[in-house]
């Protein structure tokens, strides 16, 4: 069993039992569907947040009873699990927190409210300007009132400040795992990073999670002294995976099975949400609102900060090529792919490919063929850069 698989099996079982024990004691669980929801507010209210976006195609037959087939796979999978009651995390949730990041999700949340109570967080259309920040602060105040009502606990400035510090430490530790891939040779595969950092679990003991990630980091650092491992990793093309959330792992898996390493992921749950910390001075609620509103998601317009983040990642992680993952019917990421392609190719001088797909396995061989050709393109581009440098 590989390191990532070992870590996942131990981690999932332990965290699930911890959360179940706390729920039995009366602790409330809030299901979360997006990175814009500040988990600090949930934990400051003495509750447990759990991420609910799903990555399996299995529940979609249930979702198609209510939802159109040409809808985003992430939405259909999440709703199908809820409708069929096949997700233990959804089953454990007492209340659902739903960010209005796209029209498909907004309308799905209306149907979801027939199953469990839903509180919608209405994001502004843009993250630019004081008016948007003021609006988002008011949305978060509304969320605080809900959390206090459901849990019976008060979200004080002291509690919130404490949770901000803890979540900042958690983000910094996750970022430290990614940074193992900034050196001469990457020390951790994208699949391993995904296992260690992806938040599809109950966040009920972050201090312990930080210690566990420290253990993982110490293990991974030993690879820097393993010449056999380094010889294997050095020639692998370093890929930046960007675009939609990597809720389904088939594209990530195909890239690495094809001989590359996904050295960095900019997607939700990856470096997009780890690039900055919440300021720990001043009004904690406003600081929280500002930091979350700065997440460079394609639902915002304009979203130029995403391009700046991509440029920084490409340089720091020595990226050889960019794969832009777009789930079918995710219109914001699909439209934004034009700007990303232009920026990556013309400003960053790196090969780029967009993979549009869904959760089915039907197109895996087609994707494998395209990724293989893309890696050949990277090898050619790398040789040309080396020749130019030598000249």
- Which CATH number characterizes residue 348's domain? 3.40.50.11900
Other beta carbons within 10 angstroms of residue 151's beta carbon come to: 20
Nearest to 324 by CA among 357, 294, 300, 347: 357
Angle of the 190-197 helix axis to the 206-221 helix axis, nearest 10:
160
What SS3 class is residue 12? helix
121 and 235 share a domain?
A: no
Which of 146, 163, 180 lies at the terminal end of a domain, its last residue? 146
Q: Is residue 14 part of a domain?
A: no
For 56-104, the three-class secondary structure string (H helix, E strand, C coil) is CCCCHHHHCCCCCCCCCHHHHHHHHHHHHCCCHHHHHCCEEEEECCCHH
Q: What sections of 179-224 are H helices per DSSP?
A: 190-197, 206-221
142 and 248 share a domain?
A: no
Nearest to 202 by CA among 5, 28, 25, 7: 28
Would the CA dihedral through 273, 145, 49, 161 be positive or negative? positive
Q: Is residue 118 part of a domain?
A: yes
So what's the pLDDT on residue 285?
97
257 and 351 share a domain?
A: yes
Q: Which CATH number covers residue 136? A: 3.40.50.11890
Q: Is residue 2 part of a domain?
A: no
Instruction: Tell me the C-alpha distance between 101 and 53, whole Å.
Output: 13
Q: Is residue 91 part of a domain?
A: yes
What SS3 class is residue 315? helix
374 and 232 share a domain?
A: yes
Residue spans of the chain under pLDDT 50: 1
Q: Is residue 177 part of a domain?
A: no
258 and 122 share a domain?
A: no
Instruction: Please provide the DSSP assignment of 149-189 as one string.
Output: HHH-----HHHHHHHHHHHHHHHHHHHHHHGGGSSSS--S-
278 and 374 share a domain?
A: yes
Q: Is residue 378 part of a domain?
A: yes
Q: Is residue 340 part of a domain?
A: yes
pLDDT per position as a tens digit, 84-106: 999 999 999 999 999 999 999 99
Which of 114, 146, 178 lies at the terminal end of a domain, its last residue? 146
Instruction: Tell me the C-alpha distance between 136 and 130, whole Å.
Output: 10
365 and 272 share a domain?
A: yes
Q: Is residue 195 part of a domain?
A: no
231 and 359 share a domain?
A: yes
Query: Which pTM does this prediction carry?
Result: 0.95
142 and 286 share a domain?
A: no
Domain count, the chain: 2
244 and 109 share a domain?
A: no
So what's the pLDDT on residue 1?
37
Q: Does residue 39 contact residue 167 with C-beta atoms inside 8 Å?
A: yes
Which of 124, 146, 168 lies at the terminal end of a domain, its last residue? 146
pLDDT per position as a tens digit, 324-382: 999 999 999 999 999 999 999 999 999 999 999 999 999 999 999 999 999 999 998 87
383 and 238 share a domain?
A: yes
Range(s) of the domain holding residue 362: 227-390
Nearest to 238 by CA among 189, 192, 193: 189
Q: What share of the chain is helix, strand, coil (3-state, %, to 5)?
A: 55, 10, 35
Contacts of 33 (CB under 8 A, 6+ apart): 51, 52, 53, 78, 96, 97, 98, 99, 105
């Amino acid at each position: 069993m590989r390191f990532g698989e070992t870590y996942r099996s131990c981690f999932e079982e332990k965290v699930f039992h911890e959360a179940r024990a706390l729920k039995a004691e009366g602790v409330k669980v809030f299901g979360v569907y997006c990175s814009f929801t500040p988990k600090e507010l949930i934990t400051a209210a003495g509750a447990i947040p759990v991420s609910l976006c799903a990555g399996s195609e299995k529940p979609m037959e249930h979702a198609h009873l209510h939802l159109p087939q040409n809808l985003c796979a992430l939405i259909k999978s999440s709703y199908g699990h809820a409708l069929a009651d096949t997700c233990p995390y959804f089953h454990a949730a007492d209340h659902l927190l739903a960010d209005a990041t796209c029209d498909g999700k907004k309308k799905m949340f209306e149907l979801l409210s027939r199953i469990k109570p839903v509180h919608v967080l209405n994001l502004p259309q843009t993250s630019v300007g004081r008016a948007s920040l003021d609006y988002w602060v008011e949305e978060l105040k509304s969320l605080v009132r809900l959390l206090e009502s459901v849990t019976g606990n008060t979200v004080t400035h002291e509690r919130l400040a404490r949770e901000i510090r803890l979540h900042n430490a958690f983000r910094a530790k996750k970022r430290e795992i990614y940074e193992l891939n900034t050196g001469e040779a990457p020390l951790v595969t994208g699949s391993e990073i995904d296992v260690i950092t992806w938040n599809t679990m109950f966040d009920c003991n972050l201090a312990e999670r930080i210690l566990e990630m420290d253990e993982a980091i110490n293990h991974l650092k030993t690879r820097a002294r393993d010449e056999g491992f380094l010889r294997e990793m050095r020639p692998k093309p370093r890929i930046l995976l960007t675009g939609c959330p990597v809720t389904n792992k088939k594209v990530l898996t195909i890239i690495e099975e094809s001989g590359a390493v996904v050295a960095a992921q900019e997607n939700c749950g990856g470096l997009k949400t780890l690039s900055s910390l919440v300021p720990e001075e001043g009004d904690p609620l406003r600081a929280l609102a500002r930091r979350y509103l700065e997440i460079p998601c394609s639902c915002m317009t304009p979203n130029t900060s995403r391009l700046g983040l991509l440029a920084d990642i490409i340089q720091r992680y020595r990226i050889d090529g960019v794969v832009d993952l777009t789930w079918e019917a995710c219109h914001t990421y699909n439209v934004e792919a034009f700007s990303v392609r232009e920026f990556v190719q013309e400003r960053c001088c790196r090969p780029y490919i967009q993979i549009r797909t869904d959760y089915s396995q039907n197109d895996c061989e087609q994707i494998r063929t395209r990724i293989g050709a893309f890696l050949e393109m990277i090898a050619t581009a790398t040789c040309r850069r080396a020749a130019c440098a030598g000249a």
